Structure 1
Amino acid sequence: MKRISPPPSDNPAPKRRKATSQACAACRRQKSRCEILDVPVPNHDGAPVVIRCHRCKVVGIECSFETSNLAHFPPPQTPPAASPGSSRERTVPETASGHVLHLEDIIPTATTPASGSVLRVDWTATPILAIEELVRCPRRDMHQQPPGADRLSEILNPQEITSLLDIFETRYAPWLCAQPRPAENSNSFLDIVRCTIASRHLPPAARSAATPRLQKLTNDLFVREAFNPQPSLDSITALLILSIWSPICDNGGVARDVRLLIASAVSMAKNMNLHNASMRVLSLRADKSPHKNPEMFESERKWRLWMYLSISESMLCLGAGRTPVSHFSQLDQDILNQSSPAHLTLSSVRDIRLGLTARLYDMVQNALKVHLKAAQDLGRFFDQINEFLDSLESLRRLFAPFPVITQYDNFYSHMLLLEYSACRLLVLHHAIRETRTVHERDMPAKQWFSATPLTYRVAFSWGRLALSTAESVLTAFLAPSSEAELILLGTAPDTLYVKITVASTWLFVCNFLLSQLQLSVNGTGVGVGGGWRCRTTPAARCAQGLGAQMNVWQGRKNKQGQVKQPHPPLEPQERGDPSDMTVLDIPYARFPSLPMANTNSEGGEEGHVDVNSQQQQQSQQEFGAGGARPGADSNPDFFMDDAFWTSFLQNLDSDALNAHGQIPTAT
C-alpha cells in the first residue's frame, strides 16, 4: 500500500535560518567554540567598541573580531521596558570613563530582593571573587603590538636569562615547595614562563622593552602547549605558574581566568596519570630495589607536581564559588607519614611544608562543604564548624614552630601562618553567611544574628573569632621587616594579596558598622615600594583598594566629628597629587549609628572608647541567653550587610584607582 502524501499546505515552508555569527580566526583554526559573553559599553565620545571572544580573552591572544569592521559597531541601546533585566542593569551606574561593572558577571548566585526598589546582591557568597573584581583595573588597549620573537634568546641576552632563572628558582620556586633544581637555559616553554614572571626584577629600561615581548611569546606558545595531545611535566608546571602569578604587563581589564588555567593544568596532569603517582611511589618504596632509584625519583617528581596542582586549585577555588576537581587522598597522606627525615634539609623542609599546606586546604574544603539545611539544625551546624576550627588549630600547632626550628625557608614557613589565618577567616565567613541565609529564609520574622541554640549567640561568637583572625592575617603580613624579607614578600602569589584585602575589608566593614576604630590600622599608610610600584601588579592594585577603604573611613570620621586628626598634615612632597586620592561615596544613612562609649566621663577624652569596659559589656550582652546587642536590632544585616557591598562596588571607580602610579595613602 502506497503512503499517501499530505496535501500541499497553503503556507510556504519556513526558510532556513541564516547563520548569525561566525567564529573568529583563532577559534576556527583550533575548531573551538567561539562565544562573545560580554560586550563593552561604548564611551560617551562615540569611540568604537572593540570586541573579543571569550576564548581569546582567557588565552590572551589577539582576536580577529578586534580588527573586524563588523565588530566595532556599538551595541544597540535597549529601552528600559524592553527586557526584565534592564532595571537590574540600571542599579550599577556607569563610571566617568565608561567602565561598567556588571554584578551578574561577578557573583554566580541569585540575588535576594529587599524592601523597596534597591537591588541587594549578596557579595558575601564569593568574597575572594568580589575582592578580585573590586581591585581589577580597566582595560588599556595596546595601540602598537610589540615585535614578535620565536626564541627567548631573541629578547634577552644570556646573562639576563641566567639571572632571571636564578631569581625565579631562589624567590618564586619556594612558594611552590619545589625541590631545588639547577637553573638551566633550555629555551623551553617553562623557561620562557619563568623569565616572564621574573622579568619584573629587570632594570626599568630593560623591563619596559622586554616584558611586552616576553608576554607575547608566552601567549603564542601557550596555545600550542594547551592543546598539545602529549603534554610534558614542564608544560604543566608552566601552566601552574601562569595561574599563580600574573605577568606585570598583563592587561588588568581583561578577564584572566586563572581558574581555567589551573583546571587545564589539572586535566593535562590527569591525562598523564599524575593523580595515581602516589600509588606508584608507595609501590617503589616497598620494593626497595636500588636499580629502581631513577624511576623512584621520577615518580616522586610527578607526585609533588600533582600535590601542588591540587593545592593551587583549592587555593584558587576557595571563596570563588568553584569546586576543585583534584583532591588530597589518603595515599598522599601515607607518603607524607613515611617522609620523616632524621635531619631537616632544604628538600625535607619543603616536603613537610607541602604536606602541611595540602592538609590545610583539604580541611578547609571539607569545612566549606558543610551547609546549614534548616534553622532548627543550627546547634549541629555549630558543632560541626567548631570541630573543623579545632582541627585547623591542631594543624597550626604543627607548622607554627617551623620558622624557629629550621634554618631553611623561614620566611615561607612564616607565610604559611598567614595562609592558615586567611583560610580560617573564610571558614568563619562561610559559617556566618550560612546562619544568616538559612534564618532569613526559614524565620524571616526573627533577626538572624539573635539565634541562640546553645544559650549564646553563634553569630557574635563566630564574628568575634573572625575579627581576631582577620587581625592575625594582617599581623602576619606586617611581621616581615628586613629588606630581604620585603623583597621576598613582593614575589608572593596573587591570591595572597587578595586574601590580605579580604581580611582588611572584614575589619573595615565591621569598623564601619560599629562606628569606632580601635584597630592598628588607624593612622597607618597604605603603600608599596620597590618592585611593587608597577600599578598593574596584584600587590599595587590591592594596596590601592585598601587605600580607598582608608579614605572612606577617614571621610566618615571627619563627617561625624568623632575623631580629631591624630597626625599633623603631610608635607606637600609627601601628600602627592590630590587626583591620586580615591574618595568613595557611601550612603551613610543605611548604617544606623550604634551606641558609643561615654565621651563625657571623668578623665575621658573626646572620641575615646574604654575598651575594657566595652568588652565586659559585650561579654554580658552577646553571650547571655536573653540579652540583646545594643544597636544590633536596628541593623538586620549586622556583620554581613550586602547593601554595603553593592554600594561599595557602585562607588568604586576602577579607573580612579589605577590611573595613577602613586598609591593612595591614608593619614
Structure 2
Amino acid sequence: MPEGASSSGRNQKRPKSSQACSSCRKHKTRCELLDGPSEGPYRCHRCNVLNISCSFESSVFAPPLQQSPSPTPLPPRPAFLPPPSRISPPNISNTVTPENDTRSVKLEDLLPLPPKPWGFVKVPGGFDWLTTPMLAMQGITTIRPQLDEDQLIGDVNASLANILSPESVNSLLNIFESIYSPWLNLQPDQEGDCPMLTLARLLVASRHLDSVTRAAVVPHLQKLTGEVLYRHLFNPIPSPKSIQAVIILSLWSPIGGGAQAFTRDGRLLIASGVSMAMNLRLSEAVEYVSGLRSDMKKDQGVSSTITSDLEDAMDKARLWLCLMNAESMLCIGTGRVPLSRRTELDLTVIDSKSYDTVESARDMRLSLIGQIFEVTETGLRIHFSSEIDQFYKEVLGVLLKLDDLFRLVSPLPVVVDHESSYFHILRIYHHTCRLLFVQHCLHEIRRVVIVDSARQNRPWYIVAEYNGVNIAMHWGQEALLLADDILSSTISQPESNQLGSAPDNFFAMVCFAATFIVMCKISVYRRNGEHITGSSDGLLAKVIDRLLLAACHPDHAPAKCAQLIRKLVATYEARTMKYNKVPEHLEPQAMLHNISSERTSAINQEPESGLGMDGQPPHFDASLPSHGVSLDLNRLMNSDVMIDSDFWASFMDNLSTDVQYGEGVQSN
C-alpha cells in the first residue's frame, strides 16, 4: 500500500461489514474508499494511487462511507506461510480463505450466468443463489473451507516423493490405466491432474508391488489417501475427478495395509460419491446433453461452442452413469436402496450400437451394465401379495427384459475386437442379477403360499402352480442352471491378470453363485441322503483354484471368497462322510433329526480336509469383503435361506438333466 494511504486524514478505514474490491481481496490488503467520488466512477484509494483498474468501477453498487475515529493499521503480516510438512485434517485451516474473502460478495456475483448443470452462480463457495437460495445463503454466512488445489497438489507431490519414486509412480499409474481403468468404462487418457485421483489409482495398483515393497509402501500410501479423501468429502464444490476417485476407492479395497488396514463399507463410500455428484449437479448432465442435441437438430448446424459444450457434458454424463453403475453393483442384493435413480434418458443417452473403437466399446459396456442393473432393481421391488396373476405377469416382464439383454450381451466377447475379455464379464453380471431375481421370486412365493400349503397339508412348492405349471420347480431349475453357468464363465475367463483386477464385489457375485450350489447340495442330502448329479463338484473345485490363481494376496477378495467356498464344500463333504457311517438300523427320520440338531455345531468346526493358501489349515473369516452381496455363514447354513430342503429334494427328483440353458434364459 502507498505510504500516504495510512497517514492521510482524509481517508477513512473501511468497516468490516463493507466489501473489498477484487484487487485488494486478491492481494489481501486493506481496501479504503475516498471521502467522495471524484469525476468518474468509484475507486478505492489503493487502486486510485496505483492507477490500476478497480472492481468498483464496473459496479452499480457503491459501498457506503462510514466515519471512523482514527485509522487503525493492520498488524504486520508474514510474507508467506510455510507449507505443512504433512497433510492432515487438523491442518485443513492452512488453506482456508480468510473470513473477509469468504464473506465478500459483489453484485455481479449474484447475476445469473448461462445455465450449465455444473456451472454455479457465484456467491462465495460457488453456490447458485437463484436455484439453491438457502444453500447460497448458508455459504455466505458460514465460513466454508475452500480447497486450494494448487497447494494440495504441491503437498501431495511432496509427501508422495517420500513414499514412492517417480518411476514407481509412473509404473503404477500405467498398470491402473491398462487393466483397472477399463472396469470403470470411462473414456481413456483423460487430461488433468487431481491429487485425489492419482492417490486412488496408486493405492489400487500398489497390490502389484513385490511383497516387501508393498508392506513398506501401502500403509503410508493409505494414510495419505485417507487424509486427502477427508478434505474432498467435505469440499462443498467437489471436482469430477475427485468423484471418480471415490468410485475407485469404493470398488477396490487396499491390499497389504498391515496394521493400518481397516474394514470399510464400499456402500457408504459410494453414497458419499453420489452426494458429491449431486452437489455438482452431475445428475443433470444427461438432461443437459439431451437439450444440446435438440438444439443442434433445430439449428441444422453444429457450432464450435455447442460441440465443445457437448463433449464436456458427455464426459460428465458418463461419470454420472459410471457412478450409478458402481452404486448399483455395491447395493444390489444387500437390502440397501441406491441413492441415485435412473431415468429413461440415462438409459438412452449413450449410443450403444457401435463397438469399433475402444471408446465406443466402453460406452457400450457402460450402457449395458446400467440396463442390467436397472431391470434387476425393478424386479427386486416386485412383491407377491395375493394376486398371483399380477405377480406372475410382472415377473415374466422382468425375465423377458433380461432375455433381451442377454441376447445383446452373449455374442459380444467374440465379435468385439477391443477389450473383449471385459465383455466376457457382462455375462456373469447378467446371470448373477437374474439369479438374484429368481431367488427373490422363489422367496416371495414361499412367503405367501406356505400359509395355503399348511392348510392343505401339502408342501408349498406343490401348491405354487400357475395355469398348470409348477412355477416354483421351473424357477428353481433355472436358478441352479444360472449358478452353474456363472461358475463355468468365471473358470473360462481367458486372462488371470484381468480376472484378478476385477472389482471386489465381482468376486462376491461368484461366491454367491457357488454358495447357492453348495446350499442346494446340503439341502438335498439333508432330506434324501443323496448327492446332486452333474458336474457341480468339479465346478466348485475349479472355481476355487481359479480364484486363488487370480488373488495377489491373502487379503485379496478372490482369496477370501475361495476360502469361503472351500469351507462350505469341506463342511458338506464332512457331513456326507459322517452320516454315511450311520448304522443301518437308524431310522431315516432320526438321521435327519441328528443332522438338523448338529447343523450349528458342524459349521463352527474346522473341516478335516482342505488346506489354506500357505499349506496350513485355513483360518477362515466368515465375512466377505464389505461390498455387495453380503453372505453370512451361519445364516447360509440355515436351509430356509435357500428356500428349504424339502423343496430342493423334490426339485432334484424332477430335474431333467437334458434341459438346455436357453429355455427360460435366452430369447430365441
The TM tier, using the shorter chain, reads 0.5 to 0.7
- Structure 2 counterpart of 1:577, one-letter code: Q
Instruction: Give 1:340 deviation, angstroms.
Output: 4.6
1:216–1:559 Cα change, 3 Å? same
Q: Are residues 392 and 325 of structure 1, via their aligned partners in 2, closer, same or farther at CA, if it must alter by over 3 Å?
A: same
1:226 aligns with 2:245: no
SS in 2 for 1:151: helix
Relative distance call for 1:180 and 1:514 in structure 2 (3 A) is same
Change (3 A) 1:550 1:183: farther
2:272 corresponds in structure 1 to 264
The structural deviation recorded for 1:348 is 0.7
CA distance in 2, matches of 1:414, 1:453: 35
Report the 3-state secondary structure (helix = DSSP H, G, I; strand = E; otherwise coil) of the residue aligned with 2:445: helix
Alignment of 1:185-196 (within 5 A): 186=193, 188-196=195-203
Q: Which residue of 2 aligns with 1:321?
A: 335
Q: For the structure 1 residues 62 and 429, does the alpha-carbon distance in structure 2 shift closer, same or farther, using more than 3 Å as the test?
A: farther
Superposed CA deviations along residues 42-93 of structure 1, whole A, max 9, x for unmatched, are xxxxxxxxxxxxxxxxxxx999xxxxxxxxxxxxxxxxxxxxxxxxxxxxxx
Query: Given the superposition, is the C-alpha separation of residues 260 and 572 from structure 1 closer, same or farther in structure 2, using an over 3 Å criterion?
Result: closer
Provide, for residues 268-298 of structure 1, a one-character-per-residue CA deviation record: whole Å limited to 9, x for no partner: 1111111111122123334222233332221
CA distance in 2 between partners of 1:267 and 1:571 (Å) = 45
Task: Tell me the CA shift for residue 220 of structure 1.
Answer: 1.1
Q: Which has the larger radius of gyration?
A: 2
Percent identical: 32
Per the TM alignment, residue 154 of structure 1 is displaced from its structure 2 partner at its CA by 2.1
CA contact (8 A) 2:179 2:501 kept: yes
* Aligned counterpart, 2:76: none
Correspondence list, 1:114-129, <5 A: none
Does the 8 Å contact 2:461/2:647 carry over to 1?
no
Change (3 A) 1:579 1:394: closer
Is the 8 Å Cα contact of residues 151 and 187 (structure 1) preserved in structure 2? no
Contact 1:281/1:300 (8 A) holds in 2: yes
Aligned partner of 1:350 in structure 2 is: 362
Taking the TM superposition and a 5 Å limit, the aligned residue runs for 1:585-624 are 615=655
1:405 is aligned to: 415
Correspondent of 2:380 among 364, 368, 371 = 368
Alignment of 1:514-553 (within 5 A): 514-515=524-525, 516-523=531-538, 524=541, 526-527=544-545, 528-529=547-548, 532-553=551-572
Amino acid at match of 1:517: I
Partner of 1:163: 171
> Is residue 236–residue 269 contact of structure 1 (8 Å, CA) maintained in 2?
yes
Question: Contact 1:328–1:359 at 8 Å: present in 2 too?
Answer: no
1:228 and 1:407 map into 2 onto residues whose CA distance is 41
Q: What is the Cα deviation at residue 400 of structure 1?
A: 1.4
Shift of 1:299: 0.6
Specify the alignment match of 1:459 in structure 2.
Answer: 472
The letter of the residue matching 2:202 is: C
How far 1:519 moved relative to its partner?
3.9
| Runs (5+) with no aligned partner, structure 1 | 1-60, 64-147, 564-568, 598-610, 620-667
Q: 1:505 to 1:592 in 2, by over 3 A?
A: closer
Is the counterpart of residue 470 in structure 1 residue 480 in structure 2? no
State the Cα distance separating 1:384 from its structure 2 match. 1.5
CA distance in 1, matches of 2:654, 2:451: 33
How many angstroms does 1:521 deviate by?
A: 3.8
Question: What is the CA–CA distance in structure 1 between the aligned matches of 2:473 and 2:260, rounded to whole Å?
Answer: 38
Deviation of 1:501 (Å): 0.9
Offset at 1:578?
4.0
Alignment partner of 1:240 is 2:250: no
The alignment partner of 2:466 has SS state of coil
The total of aligned residue pairs comes to 448
Q: Please give the alpha-carbon distance, in whole angstroms, between the structure 2 residues aligned to 1:249 and 1:581.
A: 18
Partner residue in 1 for 2:615: 576
Instruction: Please point out which of 179, 182, 187 is paired with 1:179.
Output: 187
Match of 1:664 in 2: none
- Quote how far apart the aligned CAs of 1:167 are: 0.9
Q: Tell me, what secondary structure is at the counterpart of 1:179? A: coil
SS in 2 for 1:194: helix
Q: 1:234 to 1:62 in 2, by over 3 A?
A: closer
The answer (yes or no) to whether the contact 1:152–1:187 under 8 Å persists in 2 is no
Q: What's the offset of the Cα at 1:382?
A: 1.9
- Aligned-pair Cα RMSD in Å: 3.6
Name the residue aligned to 1:426.
436
By relative contact order (CA 8 Å, sep 6+), the higher-ranking structure is 1
Quote how far apart the aligned CAs of 1:581 are. Answer: 8.3
1:420 CA drift (Å)? 0.2
Alpha-carbon distance in 1 for matches of 2:504, 2:480:
23
2:350 match: secondary structure:
helix
The 8 Å contact of residues 149 and 217 in structure 1, kept in 2 or not, is answered as no
Distance 1:225 1:331, change over 3 A: same
* Cα distance, 1:573–1:312 mapped onto 2, change above 3 Å: closer
Distance 1:423 1:575 in 2: 34
Distance 1:531 1:499, change over 3 A: closer
How far the C-alpha of 1:463 sits from its partner, in A, is 0.8
How far is 1:150 from its partner? 6.0
**1:298 and 1:402 mapped to 2: Cα distance?**
29
Shift of the 281–477 alpha-carbon distance from structure 1 to 2, 3 Å rule, reads same
Aligned residue number for residue 347 of structure 2: 333
Deviates more, 1:228-237 or 1:533-542: 533-542
Q: Is 2:550–2:558's contact at 8 Å kept on the other side of the alignment? A: no
Partners of 2:621 and 2:359 lie apart in 1 by: 46
Does structure 2 retain, via aligned residues, the 8 Å contact 1:200–1:531?
A: no
